[in-house]
Chains A and B, each alone.
Chain A
């Protein structure tokens, strides 16, 4: 089984400042990692994913994340945030390969609030 820990439930950041949202995972097998964003009253939208290869992955809206296997982390970053980035961000994991292993296990989410 896998689990995901998002260490910060809320992160306030001033507009145009950088931000890092932290995510740690636990799994006895290899995993794929994802970040999703949820805007108010909306469904979840895929921001980016790590499958293999380069540990730095770039996603939509200027976000990027770095996979660190030794620290079992997959932190999300953006160098300069905008008001429109205000949303809830979810880290998720799924087991690599095998039948029936597609289900995503989500963290509890981090609410990012951008301060003008």
Chain B
């Protein structure tokens, strides 16, 4: 159980375009999903917390107008990188908490590797 999928797994886009990444919890419901970014040889940095039915909470320094998050259902959250630039190239990973669980552990999707040329 506790499977999280992410799509696409890899995307290459041109500078100035927008990219949408989907995160789905496949066998559980997640009122809260999280979006992380990981640069090479660095650890995961939380970008935002996505709450079903409400606005996402962004971490300090993360531009909410650039990284649009939508969490329209208990099993789907999307991250849209708008007007992507080469410095946005990174590994984007989502995670989800099972809302029935008392534990704070999160289950991670397989990640999306974004390359902006």
Do chains A and B stick together as partners?
Answer: no
Interface residues of B (CB under 8 A from A): none
